[in-house]
Structures are given as C-alpha cells and as structure tokens.
C-alpha cells in the first residue's frame, strides 16, 4: 500500500446503491431485445469485471415477478452479490425503452414511477433490529449517484444520508456521481441541494461539466473541480466525452488524454463504465493516473458496442485488444 492508495485491503467490499431497470432496445422492426441496466448497476458490472477479487453488492429493491427473478439471475451471472437486494411485496422493476430515429439519434422512454427500487430505503429500514453495528452493511466503499437520490422521496433520502454518515464514521469511503436527470427532480434547486449534500459526504466524485452548468451555473471544469474540492471531496475526477480527463487529488491535478474512438456505435453507459473501471483500479492499489486510464479504456470499449452492458467475452477481448494497442503506442503509462 502507498500513501496514495484508496484502501489497504486486497479483497475490498463495495456496496452499490441504486435502481436497476428492465431495458428494451429494438432488435429489428417490431422486435425488442430485453436486458437489464441502470447507471449504478452498469458501474457495478464493469467494476466487478475489472476487479473480480472485489465483493460487489447491489443494494436495491425488486419484486417477485419474473423480470425481477431474471434480473437477480443476471446479477449472479455477473458475479454480483444479491444478498442485500430487498423484495417489495407488491411492486416490480422500472422499465425503459431505447428508441432510435432515422438519423440514429437515440431517445429513452421510461416507466419507473411505481418501481420497487423507489422504496428500497424504507424496506431496508424495516429489516433493521437496532442491534446492527451500523444500519448499512459493512463495506469498504459505498457508491451512489444522483439518480439513486432522485428516485427516493425526501424522507428516504434523509434516512440514507444518516446511514451514510454513520458508515463514514466507521471508515467506509463514499463515491458519488451526480448523474443529473432533470425530469427526475421537482426542480433544479431541489436537485442542487441534494447533490451538494452528497458531495459533502463523498471521498471520490465524478462531476460532469454539463450537469454542473445546469445545477450550479459553474463556468468551466477548473471552476467545478475547485468548488467540489472545496466541499471536501479529496479525489475529484472530471470527464467530459473526448475532452481530457482531469483528476484533482491531494491538491495536485493529473491530466489524461482521451483518444477518440473512430466509429462510435452507442455511448450509453460510457460514464458508468468509466467509473467502474476507475474505482476498480483505485481499489486495486493503482494511482489516479492508472485509474483514469483504465476508466477511459473501459468507456472506449463500451462505446464500440450497442447497449449499456457489453456481453462477455466480447467486452474483455475488446478491452485487452485496446490495452495491447496502447502498450505498443505508449509504453510509459505506469505511475
Ligand atoms: P457520461 O456523459 O455518460 O458521463 P462522458 O461523455 O463524460 O460520459 O464520457 C465518459 C468517458 O467515456 C470519457 O471520459 C472518455 O474516456 C470516454 N469517451 C466518451 N466518448 C468517447 C469517444 N468518442 N471516444 C473515446 N472515448 C470516449
């Protein structure tokens, strides 16, 4: 372990809290392909694939319906621990469909207002006896996003923050991606208040430029990074499409160039995959530069394929090919 390591354990336990949905994408006219996705879930999948030694657990709620059963099975097949997933007595998962217009432009249609995942905090509270050392399961790292918060009501959000504070007091690190989705919030102000609160308890954060302009009126990425660091976040990772990645860590800025992918097929989950790859590297004792490179490699691989979750073994084969190319072109990336 070095001074810059995130943890001093070789088998980290990570808890990823958020919504998992049923995804429908058009296979051919009149026929949809069904899979599972959701920002935090996507990050969980790519984190586990990049660091199999990590125990990756999802914290969410599903139902008793066949989609929910299949969703948990998909997680098991990805090596994700489903032991903390709650079962709602009467609700099931949310659903979204991906539409692509004649010019290839994608849009998303959601049916998630009544999803079981919107009540996972209440359901979790009902399982607590009061004798637990901490309300949330023991973990080295907890990851959540702005969508995790947006789909909960105010009471549940406040309760979750209380639990997160307690987890931090016992040494758990918190990672946060704001993933601002205006339609999920009552107002920009509401989103800004809760996003700022989340930053204040985060050790690592992944702000995006566009969302910070909308949420806080921040001007540019330096503005964003300074302000987020000022809120107490020790490791600020700023990414924005093909712009270079900047990490502000220990008051030092590290910059990593992004090599644009020539033929982008689908950018869905690029950011989520980046986060999964980044966290996996940091949990594995790698430097922030190596972590950003791994995040960029994972994202660059994802966008060469359709859908949020690239099937195995195609994902790992493509990722390894990309890394081989980089090693040949850029042998000095270590450190
Ligand atoms: P999101 O908006 O989903 O959070 P970003 O657009 O910020 O995601 O992209 C996340 C990462 O994905 C970028 O930092 C970069 O590493 C990678 N990425 C995105 N678009 C491209 C591209 N066209 N070519 C190569 N890498 C890309």
Residue 182 DSSP label: G
Asked if 272 is an active-site residue, the reply is: yes
* Spatial separation of the C-alpha atoms in residues 45 and 301, rounded to whole Å: 14
Say whether pLDDT at 21 is over 50: yes
pLDDT single digits (tens) 90-117: 999 999 998 877 766 778 899 999 999 9
Say whether pLDDT at 219 is over 70: yes
* Spatial separation of the C-alpha atoms in residues 130 and 134, rounded to whole Å: 9
Say whether pLDDT at 127 is over 90: yes
Question: Which domains occur in the chain, in start order?
Answer: 13-128+135-334 (3.40.1190.20)
Q: What is the residue-averaged pLDDT of the chain?
A: 93
pLDDT single digits (tens) 35-92: 999 999 999 999 999 999 999 999 999 999 999 999 999 999 999 999 999 999 999 9
Ligand 1 centroid to Cα of residue 64, in Å, is 36
Region 169-193 average pLDDT: 97
Residue in 39, 140, 272, 297 annotated catalytic: 272
* Spatial separation of the C-alpha atoms in residues 317 and 320, rounded to whole Å: 5
Of 281, 299, 319, 325, the one to substitute when testing ligand 1's pocket (max ligand atoms within 8 A of C-beta) is: 299
Of 37, 213, 258, the one to substitute when testing ligand 1's pocket (max ligand atoms within 8 A of C-beta) is: 258
Residues at CB less than 6 angstroms from ligand 1? 208, 239-242, 245, 258, 260-261, 264, 267, 270-271, 274, 296, 299-300, 303
**pTM of the entire structure?**
0.94
């Amino acid at each position: 372990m070095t001074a810059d390591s995130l943890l001093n354990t070789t088998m980290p336990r990570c808890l990823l809290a958020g919504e998992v949905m049923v995804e429908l994408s058009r296979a051919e006219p009149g026929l949809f392909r069904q899979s599972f996705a959701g920002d935090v879930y996507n990050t969980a999948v790519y984190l586990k694939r990049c660091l199999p030694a990590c125990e990756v657990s999802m914290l969410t709620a599903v139902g008793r319906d066949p989609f929910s059963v299949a969703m948990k099975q998909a997680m098991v097949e990805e090596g994700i621990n489903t032991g903390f997933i709650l079962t709602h007595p009467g609700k099931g998962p949310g659903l979204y469909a991906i539409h692509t217009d004649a010019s290839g432009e994608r849009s998303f249609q959601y049916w998630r207002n009544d999803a079981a995942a919107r009540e996972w905090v209440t359901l979790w509270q009902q399982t607590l006896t009061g004798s637990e050392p901490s309300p949330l399961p023991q973990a080295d790292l907890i990851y959540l996003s702005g969508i995790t918060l947006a789909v909960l009501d105010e009471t549940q959000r406040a309760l979750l923050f209380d639990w997160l504070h307690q987890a931090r007091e016992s040494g758990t690190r918190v990672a946060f991606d704001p993933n601002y989705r205006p339609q999920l919030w009552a107002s920009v102000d509401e989103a800004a208040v809760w996003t700022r609160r989340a930053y204040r308890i985060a050790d690592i954060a992944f702000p995006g430029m566009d969302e910070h302009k909308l949420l806080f009126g921040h001007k540019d990425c330096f503005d964003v990074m300074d302000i987020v660091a000022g809120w107490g976040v020790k490791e600020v990772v700023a990414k924005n499409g093909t712009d270079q990645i900047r990490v502000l860590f220990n008051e030092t800025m590290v910059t990593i160039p992004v090599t644009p992918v020539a033929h982008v097929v689908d950018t869905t989950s690029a950011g989520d995959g980046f986060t999964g790859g980044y966290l996996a590297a940091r949990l594995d004792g790698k430097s922030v530069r190596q972590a950003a490179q791994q995040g960029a490699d994972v994202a660059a691989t994802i966008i060469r394929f359709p859908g949020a979750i690239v099937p195995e073994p195609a994902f790992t084969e493509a990722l390894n090919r990309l890394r081989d190319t980089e090693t040949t072109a850029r042998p000095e990336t270590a450190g």
